[in-house]
Amino acid sequence: MFSNKIKVFLLTSICLIFFFLTYNDVKSKEITTHNLLDNFDICQTNSSLGQYCKDERFNYLEYFKNSKIQINNNKIHYEFDTWDYHFEITKNTKNEVKFIIEDNAKEASYLTKSEIVLRFDEENLIWNLYSDETLYPESERRKYFYLSGKAKVIDGDTIKINDQKIRFSGIDAPESNYRGKEQTCLIEDTKISCGKLSTEFLKNYIEKEDVFCKIEEKKDQFKRNLGECFLKRLSLSKLMVRNGYAFDYEKYSKGKFKYDQAYAQKNKLGMWSMKFEFPWEFRKKN
């Protein structure tokens, strides 16, 4: 009996020692030029990888691994056939890392510079994207912040993560509750709540999933965060418009989702299979 207690004590002690050693090792993990790309997803930033990143099968680590690589102190240069990527770490502490990305096309007068900030998540022991600011060209200068976690769906174009309400910018979904009124649509002669229908579609798609949001620096008139949110690399705004449960809000999107809307309209998906009015028209009347 006594012998068994000793064995249990020793086993427990070994497990605890291993846990704390592992914990400290992960927690003290430092970012270097050699592991920088391992600690953030460049596809989530404003990089020129655009079209490649839309494919969930695209492995950006393999892509960079196959380039010509030069490392010099806190700088790293990846050279491809037509592109150059330069990374320079400008701040490196145990809780925050800043670096500049220079994204350069060799055969065109195209150059962008962005400052990325990563912050260490003490609870999950990982580095998270915190912000992404375009430095050059000046005409495109803007700053984004990042937020991720389990999402609560408010309606077809609004979610909440960690008590932060996020309105999907550039799209507009039917209203489920606007000044006490819900927006309805007609299927033949049957009236349905298309606001609730849109909400349920989004809710069923992202329930229990981690959502990643790219938040604009400026908030809307209701003090809500504006941004585009993703499930893995799939834009939820694109998902809603392409399936007909939200609309391209051209006033703010500049037509970003117009082709997705054309697809939904052509195939009579979602609202396009019903008689409806656009959400902005509904609000104007009410």
- pLDDT tens per residue across span 71-96: 999 999 999 988 899 999 999 999 99
Distance CA 198, CA 51 (A): 28
- So what's the pLDDT on residue 131? 96
More reliable by pLDDT, 152 or 81: 152
Distance CA 140, CA 142 (A): 6
More reliable by pLDDT, 49 or 86: 86
- So what's the pLDDT on residue 55? 84
Contact assessment for residue 98 and residue 115, using Cβ atoms and an 8 Å cutoff:
yes
Query: Which helix H or strand E contains 245, and what residues bound it?
Result: none
Burial class (CB in 10 A: 0-12, 13-18, 19+), 90: exposed
Pairing state between β 110-121 and 126-136: antiparallel
Question: Is 270 strand, coil or helix?
Answer: helix
7: left (phi over 0), alpha (psi -120 to 50) or beta: alpha
- So what's the pLDDT on residue 4? 53
pLDDT reading at 19 higher than 80 = no
Q: What mean pLDDT is reported for the chain?
A: 88
Stretch 257-286: mean pLDDT: 96
Distance of CA 136 to the CA centre of its chain: 22
Pairing state between β 225-231 and 164-168: parallel
- So what's the pLDDT on residue 23? 40
pLDDT reading at 47 higher than 90 = no
pLDDT reading at 199 higher than 50 = yes
Percent of the chain with pLDDT over 90: 67
Give the pLDDT band of residue 170 (cuts 50, 70, 90). very high
- So what's the pLDDT on residue 200? 96
